[in-house]
Amino acid sequence: MPTEACAPGRVELLGNHTDYNQGVVLAAAIDRRLKVSGERQSDGLITLRSLSLGKFEIRRENLRPQSEPPWVNYVLGVVRELLDAGLSIDGFSAEIEGDLPSGCGLSSSAAIEVATTFFLLKLFDATLPPLAIAKLCQRAEHRFVGVRSGLLDQVTSIFGRAGHAVFFDARSEEVRVIPFPPRLALIIAESGKKRELAESFYNQRREETRAATEALGLIALRDISPGELAKRDLPPLLRQRAAHIVGENERVQRALVLLEQNDGPGFGELMNESHESSRQNFENSTAELDCLVEIARDLPGVFGARLTGGGFGGATVTLCESAAAVRIAEELAQVYLRRSGLRSRIFVCAISNGAW
C-alpha cells in the first residue's frame, strides 16, 4: 500500500515579511492541501509525477537544482537536505496532487516541502522534531530554489490546528496556537496575477530591511518602536521598509489581545492598516490586490481585508461574519470581474490542522 503524507497551505493574517526580520507573525493553516504518495525504489531513481505539472526523473547521485521544470526543486531540495542530515534516503516514486493553488500567496511551496518531508520520513522509517522539519524545508528553499524565505510558512503548515491561529516568534522560535473566534470567517480571493518569488522583489525586500537594520544599528527591526523609528535618520526608502516591519510587529501584538476579546472589528481594522502599509511602505501590493481589498471593505459584514503572503500578486484575505461569508464571497467575485475583467477563484477558508 502506498505511503502518503499531506500538508496544508497557509494564510498569513498579520505580520507581513516579519519572520525573516526576527519578528512575530499570526497565520493559520487552511483547508487546501497537497498530498504526496508513493513507494520505495531500490535503484536510486527518483520519479515524480503530477497530473497538472507532469513527470520528472533523476538519479539520487545526480541531485542538483533544475531550471526546468522548476517545481521539482522543492522536492529535490528536501531530499538533498535529508541526505545531508545523515538520513538514508534511497530512490522512490511519488505522486503529488491536491487542491492548493500555486503562485497565489498561500504557500504551496512550503506545503510541497513539508508534505515531501513527512512522506520520506515515513517511507524510510525516520523521525525529526517538528521545528527541525520546518528548518530543513526552509534550507531546501534557500539552497535549491533560491528564495531566502522566512520560517513562517513551514511552521504554520506543520503546527496548524483547526479553529486556531498560529502565533510564531521568529526570534525565540515560540509557536503558540490561539483560538480563533468561530463567529468570524476568512475569505481567500486570488487576484488572477501569479507571483514568482524567486524572480520577484522578495529577495530585494529582504536586502532592504537588512540595510535598514544595519543603518539603525540594531540586531533586528523588532528592537525599535514606531515612535523611536520616527526620530531616527534614515534614507526615505529604508525608512519606508523599516516602518512596515516595525508596524507589523506592533499590529501582531495588538491582535493577540483582540483575539482574546473576540473583537472581530478591531482585528479587521488591523488588517486594513496592514494592507495600507504594504501598499505605501513596502510596495508589495498590486493594482489587482488593491482592487480586491477595496471591494471587500465596502461589502456589509466585512471587518477588514489585506494582501496575504509575500505580495507582488497572489491573493487577499478578508475577515467577515461567518453567517455572511458565502454571500460576501459571491459578491466579491462578481464585482471584481466587472471592475478588473479577471475571474478570481474565491473561497471561504476553514482553518485546519497541520501536516500529517
pLDDT value of position 101: 86
pTM over 0.85: yes
* Mean pLDDT of the region 103-108: 85
Mean pLDDT on 70-94: 96
Are the C-beta atoms of 29 and 157 separated by less than 8 Å? yes
Mean pLDDT within 126-155:
94
Collapsed DSSP state (helix, strand, coil) of residue 54: strand
Class of domain 3-175: alpha beta
Count CB atoms within 10 A of the CB of residue 190.
24
Q: Which residues of 198-221 are buried (b: 16+ CB within 10 A; e: fewer)?
A: eebbbeebbebbbbbbeebebebb
Strand 184-190 relative to strand 175-179, pairing: unpaired
Maximum Cα–Cα distance for the chain, whole Å?
63
* From 153, 233, 263, 298, the catalytic residue: 153
Contacts of 175 (CB under 8 A, 6+ apart): 131, 155, 159, 166, 167, 168, 169
pLDDT band at 199 (very low <50, low <70, confident <90, very high): low
Lowest mean pLDDT among 21-35, 89-103, 249-263: 89-103
Question: Under the phi-then-psi rule, with left for phi > 0, alpha for psi from -120 to 50, and beta for the rest, what region is 299?
Answer: beta
Q: What is the pLDDT of residue 195?
A: 64
| CA–CA distance, 353 with 356 (Å, rounded to integer) | 9
pLDDT interval class at 196 (50, 70, 90): low
| pLDDT higher than 50, residue 135 | yes
**Residue 43: DSSP 8-state:** T
Please tell me the distance from the alpha carbon of residue 106 to that of residue 101, in angstroms, as a whole number.
Answer: 8
What Å distances lie between residue 162 and 22, 167, 352, CA to CA? 26, 14, 4
Fold agreement between 3-175 and 180-349: no
Cell numbers given for 205: 525586500
pLDDT reading at 86 higher than 60? yes
- CATH code of the domain made up of 180-349: 3.30.70.890
Report which listed range, 71-75, 310-314, 342-346, is most confident.
71-75
CA–CA distance, 160 with 325 (Å, rounded to integer): 22
Segment 240-249, tens digit of pLDDT: 999 999 999 9
DSSP 230-246: HHS---HHHHHHHHHHH
Residue 40 has pLDDT above 80, yes or no: yes
Element (H, E) at 284: none
Task: Examine the pLDDT at 293 and tell me if it is beyond 50.
Answer: yes
Mean pLDDT of the chain: 95
Decide which of 203 and 153 is more confident: 153
Q: How far is it, in rounded angstroms, from Cα 207 to Cα 201?
A: 10
Task: Assign 140 to helix, strand or coil.
Answer: helix
Examine the pLDDT at 87 and tell me if it is beyond 90. Answer: yes
Cβ atoms < 10 Å from Cβ of 102: 18
Angstrom distance (rounded) from CA 323 to CA 315: 22
CA separation for the pair 318, 295 (Å, rounded): 10
Q: Which of 23-27, 270-274, 312-316 shows the lowest mean pLDDT across its residues?
A: 312-316
pLDDT at 226 over 90: yes
Interval 146-160: pLDDT, tens: 888 889 999 999 999
The pLDDT > 70 percentage for the chain reads: 98
pLDDT, residue 198, reads: 43
In the chain, % of residues over pLDDT 90: 89
Choose the weakest-confidence range: 53-67, 99-113, 131-145. Answer: 99-113
Q: Do the beta carbons of residue 148 and residue 142 sit within 8 Å?
A: yes
Every domain of the chain and the residues it spans: 3-175, 180-349
Mean pLDDT over residues 278-307, rounded? 97
Q: What is the DSSP letter of 189?
A: E
* pLDDT score of 13 more than 70: yes
- Based on the residue annotation, tell me whether 19 is a catalytic residue of this protein: no
